[in-house]
Structure 1
Amino acid sequence: MPNLALLDYPGASIAAVAGLQEMFTYTARLHQRDDLPDIALTTGAPPKTPPDAVILPPAFGNDAYLTPPKNLIDWLRTLPETCLITSACAGAFYLGAAGLLDGRNVTTHWALEHELQSRFPKAKVDTGEILIRDGRVITAGGLLSWIDLALELIAHFSGPAIMREVGRHFVTDTGRRDQRPYRAFSPPMNHGDHQIEQAQFLIERTFAAPIRIAELAKTVALTERTFLRRFERATGLTPLTYVQHLRIQSAQRALESTPAPVEQIAYSVGYENAGAFRKLFKRHTGLSPSQYRQRLKR
């Protein structure tokens, strides 16, 4: 009989905890209907007997996940290799504190990417994905990604047919999603390099215009070579990639809030070739401009 432990840690999302309980309660009913082995979800503190899977739900409205209780971290470290260890959103910080993310491909909420990566540099963080499974560790990104995580666990323990039936009952897509359409570009501004900060502010005001590295470097009193090296060190991006992120984000806002044609939006954010803009937009968001507008409009 599969036993899953949902850890209701201080600051965990009440909605996520309740939603996970309901999804697994319904799954248990399907097991009874089909005469399958029972599946049980216990909620609260770590159980004395190691479970078959552990779930760290998202946090909501607090940053308590940054200082997880030592007893919980120690318990996570004792779990056998046969136990699936999973998290959604900020729950990944618990796994990181226990050393369970080291060397693994993982995800979390896109807004927590830099914090997770800086605290646990051995992890390979990719917030483009909404769910990543690497060995016995499954991480999900986004505050509502507990739904994707629940479906993944149900597919693992109950099979894909029951997982899809659960999806139909709760009216939720059972296919794989990603976070790229929802990610906002939030470049680091607290890196301490004041000349690069000055360049960042200038780029944010003029990103729709052609980028000229030599002029940017001159404006902040640096040689072009020094400027390029320090810019990438401070932001993690080349100036050209930085500008592309700003342009795509501006285009996303226009697609969400205006009926303007794609060609007009492309030109307004700095692209004369609408075809090139469409390719770049899909590379960043996973969707074409028209698909993005369709998904986000009400």
Structure 2
Amino acid sequence: MKHISILVPRGAILGSLEGSRQLFSQVNQFAKQQGKPPVFQVELIGLTRETPVSGGLFTVNTDSLVDDVARTDLIIIPAVDGDLSDAIDQNKAFLPWIKKQYEAGAEVASLCLGAFLLASTGLLSGRKCATHWMAESAFRQMFPDVQLVTQKIITDEHRIYSSGGAFSYLNLILYLIEKYAGREIAVLSAKVFAIELDRQNQLPFTIFQGQKGHEDEPVKKIQEYIESNFQKKITIDELASMQAIGRRNLERRFKKATDNTIVEYIQRVKIEAAKMSLESSRENINEVMYKVGYTDTKAFRSTFKRVTGLSPIQYRAKYNRVMSA
């Protein structure tokens, strides 16, 4: 039987904590119905017996305190809420225990913003990790040595797992259930909890916000110019001239400040505008394409699919309700 330690961090989001517990516990119910022994021993592990979560709206009673758990097989780190630096500080007593258990052979999985706690252990250095797309800039700034993959729903590397934003944690839990209990039980769990199985990426859900939490004012002015003039043909030389900065120096500074090249940034702004039109208007694909400054149909479709994971037609079918009204 695999021992699962679901951490109860101070300020945890109750949904990912309780949802994980329910799914793993349900697997034991399935096993019981089939006359088999339980698959998992599920425990809630805290720093205190009673832990406030979800902004203090709820209190979770833990099964064990972290220092009382000598060994576990799988650690689940739920999403945390509020100021992420504060969340790390409030839960720093978990970090050496997580690292010690991993070094003893345990596996570790972070759910959504739980990635910030996992990364704080140092175990993600040089490795891939997913988290909520809204926290991309903050994560990159705090953990530059981690390979953030915001398009992924799930990462699996060297006994460390992570999930993308919000309710995509359910896909990671199903992934772990399949690994430990088999495909049949994972499919049954997906059906009982009405979870879409085998989702691979969160690109269709991502909203490009443009990283402006930096102090490079000329780069900010260029970002604002791009966002106000994305319909036009914008060249890097033009942008460099506007701020009296050499092209090579501007490209270096822009990438450092925004985590995007200038060309990538222009593309992301154009595609975000195209997404909004496809979601809310009756314009055809070509009209949307021209509206955001593309003239090459193949280039537009290719860039759109690379950014969103869907073709423009697929995206419209998924999110537009005007067309079906």
When normalised by structure 1's length, the TM-score is 0.94
What pairs with 1:76-91 in structure 2 (closer than 5 Å)? 76-79=98-101, 80-91=103-114
**What secondary structure sits across from 2:274 in the alignment?**
helix
**What secondary structure sits across from 2:23 in the alignment?**
helix
Query: Equivalents in 2 of 1:288, 1:78: separation in Å?
Result: 45
Q: Are 2:70 and 1:69 aligned?
A: no
Is the CA contact (8 Å cut-off) linking 1:65 and 1:91 kept in structure 2? Answer: no
Query: Equivalents in 1 of 2:43, 2:111: separation in Å?
Result: 17
Query: Equivalents in 1 of 2:120, 2:248: separation in Å?
Result: 39
What pairs with 1:98-109 in structure 2 (closer than 5 Å)? 98-109=121-132
Alpha-carbon deviation of 1:9? Answer: 0.9
Q: Which residue of 1 aligns with 2:177?
A: 154
**What secondary structure sits across from 1:22 in the alignment?**
helix
Q: Are 2:308 and 1:285 aligned?
A: yes
Of 94-103 and 189-198, deviating more is 189-198
Task: Specify the code of the residue in structure 2 equivalent to 1:222.
Answer: I
Alpha-carbon deviation of 1:171? Answer: 1.2
Task: Specify the code of the residue in structure 2 equivalent to 1:27.
Answer: V
Is the CA contact (8 Å cut-off) linking 1:267 and 1:274 kept in structure 2? Answer: no
User: Unaligned stretches of 5+ in structure 1?
Assistant: none
Of 156-165 and 14-23, deviating more is 14-23
Among residues 198, 209, 217, which one is paired with 1:194 in the alignment? Answer: 217
> Relative to 1, partners in 2 of residues 1:11 and 1:193: Cα closer, same or farther, differing over 3 Å?
same
Q: Which residue of 2 aligns with 1:255?
A: 278
Q: Which residue of 2 aligns with 1:234?
A: 257
Task: Specify the code of the residue in structure 2 equivalent to 1:42.
Answer: E
Q: Which residue of 2 aligns with 1:58?
A: 79
CA deviation vs aligned residue, 1:150-209 (integer Å, no higher than 9, x gap): 101211211111001100111111113311111122222232222222111111110110
**What secondary structure sits across from 2:166 in the alignment?**
coil
Q: Which residue of 2 aligns with 1:43?
A: 44
Is the CA contact (8 Å cut-off) linking 2:81 and 2:87 kept in structure 1? Answer: no
Query: Equivalents in 2 of 1:122, 1:213: separation in Å?
Result: 29
Equivalent residues, number = 298
Query: Equivalents in 2 of 1:232, 1:71: separation in Å?
Result: 35
> Relative to 1, partners in 2 of residues 1:257 and 1:160: Cα closer, same or farther, differing over 3 Å?
same
> Relative to 1, partners in 2 of residues 1:223 and 1:72: Cα closer, same or farther, differing over 3 Å?
closer
**What secondary structure sits across from 1:44 in the alignment?**
strand
Q: Which residue of 2 aligns with 1:15?
A: 15
**What secondary structure sits across from 1:144 in the alignment?**
helix
> Relative to 1, partners in 2 of residues 1:62 and 1:35: Cα closer, same or farther, differing over 3 Å?
farther
What pairs with 1:122-161 in structure 2 (closer than 5 Å)? 122-161=145-184
**What secondary structure sits across from 1:145 in the alignment?**
helix
Query: Equivalents in 2 of 1:2, 1:223: separation in Å?
Result: 59
Query: Equivalents in 2 of 1:101, 1:245: separation in Å?
Result: 27
Query: Equivalents in 2 of 1:180, 1:113: separation in Å?
Result: 13
Task: Specify the code of the residue in structure 2 equivalent to 1:279.
Answer: S
Task: Specify the code of the residue in structure 2 equivalent to 1:73.
Answer: L
Query: Equivalents in 2 of 1:170, 1:106: separation in Å?
Result: 26
Is the CA contact (8 Å cut-off) linking 1:81 and 1:136 kept in structure 2? Answer: no
Alpha-carbon deviation of 1:148? Answer: 1.1
> Relative to 1, partners in 2 of residues 1:148 and 1:188: Cα closer, same or farther, differing over 3 Å?
same
**What secondary structure sits across from 2:167 in the alignment?**
coil
Query: Equivalents in 1 of 2:318, 2:22: separation in Å?
Result: 27
Alpha-carbon deviation of 1:68? Answer: 4.2
User: Unaligned stretches of 5+ in structure 2?
Assistant: 47-65
Of 48-57 and 219-228, deviating more is 219-228
Runs of 4+ in 1 over 6 A off after TM superposition: none
Indicate the RMSD between aligned Cα atoms, in angstroms.
1.8
When normalised by structure 2's length, the TM-score is 0.86
Among residues 237, 247, 264, which one is paired with 1:224 in the alignment? Answer: 247
Alpha-carbon deviation of 1:26? Answer: 1.5
